[in-house]
């Protein structure tokens, strides 16, 4: 199967490194790129691949470039070819307009996909075949967990939760580390404790079938240190309300950007 990436920025390049674990052949058109992974053909201009046909064309450019760039590739699909888009905010309808009404599969990866530990949402146009959806899903599973959603509103809700989620976690880790430093640890110690605690706790939650509330309670003795800390953190639901407001704000902005 032949796949063409139109554009290959930071996210496109990170996905490609994981996608290459499959058996597809990849090519890139990107005038800004000076080298590609071994085995991937790199081209600076569309004309260099104009005589080729591709089973999948990946729109990996900035959303504001879609209308200008992608129509030039609409004649380069094989008969069963489809468009795979990682361009945030570009609707399926818009993508079909610029691709010659090809089946479109939108994916929204989050940052940890770069290390094969991401969470991605997948949404397909009504005319996408099961084979095309299955192929796109298999590619994204090389980058982590894949959630298939029914409509594009769910993509926006996913963006609020998981797409933007790494930013929330990084900010939590930063504030947690800062608090540990204020408690008397040096920066290296604080960072090691915070990241190690987050890593271990999340790994435990991922492996356990228990409810998160049950896991929380398993480490919380009545009248103990954890109980005191949790009372300060979310005793009156402050953290729960803040997280709800965070997701609502991110979702509202995603809707504005449609």
31 in the Ramachandran plot: left (φ > 0), alpha (ψ -120 to 50) or beta?
A: alpha
And the tokens for 243? Answer: 């997280």
Residues 45-78 pLDDT 10s: 999 999 999 999 999 999 889 999 999 999 999 9
pLDDT score recorded for residue 88:
84
Residues 186-216 pLDDT 10s: 999 999 999 999 999 999 999 998 999 999 9
Whether the CB-CB separation of 50 and 75 falls below 8 Å is answered with no
CA dist., res. 90 & res. 99, Å (int): 13
- Residue showing tokens 């790129």: 33
Mean pLDDT, all residues of the chain: 95
For the domain made up of 165-256, the CATH class stated in words is mainly alpha
pLDDT score recorded for residue 37:
92
Give the global pTM. 0.85
- Asked if CATH classification 3.40.50.720 holds for the domain at 2-154, the reply, yes or no, is yes
Domain positions in the chain = 2-154, 165-256
Confidence band for 255, pLDDT divided at 50, 70 and 90? confident
């Amino acid at each position: 199967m032949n796949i063409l990436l139109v554009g290959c920025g930071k996210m496109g390049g990170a996905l490609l490194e994981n996608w290459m674990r499959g058996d597809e052949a990849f090519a890139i058109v990107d005038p800004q790129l000076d080298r590609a992974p071994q085995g991937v053909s790199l081209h600076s201009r569309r004309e260099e691949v104009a005589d080729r046909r591709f089973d999948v064309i990946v729109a990996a450019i900035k959303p504001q470039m879609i209308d200008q760039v992608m129509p030039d590739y609409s004649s380069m699909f094989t008969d069963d070819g489809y468009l795979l888009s990682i361009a945030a905010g570009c609707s399926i309808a818009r993508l079909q307009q610029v691709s010659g009404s090809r089946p479109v599969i939108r994916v929204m990866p989050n940052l940890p996909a770069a290390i094969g530990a991401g969470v991605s949402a997948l949404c397909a146009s009504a005319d996408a075949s099961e084979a095309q959806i299955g192929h796109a899903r298999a590619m994204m599973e090389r980058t982590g967990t894949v959630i298939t959603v029914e409509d594009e509103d769910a993509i926006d809700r996913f963006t609020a939760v998981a797409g933007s989620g790494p930013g929330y976690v990084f900010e939590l880790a930063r504030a947690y580390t800062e608090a540990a430093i204020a408690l008397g640890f040096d920066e290296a110690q604080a960072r090691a404790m915070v990241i190690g605690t987050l890593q271990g706790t999340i790994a435990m939650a991922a492996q356990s079938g228990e409810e998160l509330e049950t896991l929380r309670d398993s480490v919380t003795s009545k009248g103990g240190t954890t109980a005191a800390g949790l009372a300060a953190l979310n005793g009156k639901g402050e953290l729960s309300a803040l997280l709800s407001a965070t997701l609502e704000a991110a979702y509202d902005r995603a809707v504005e950007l449609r």
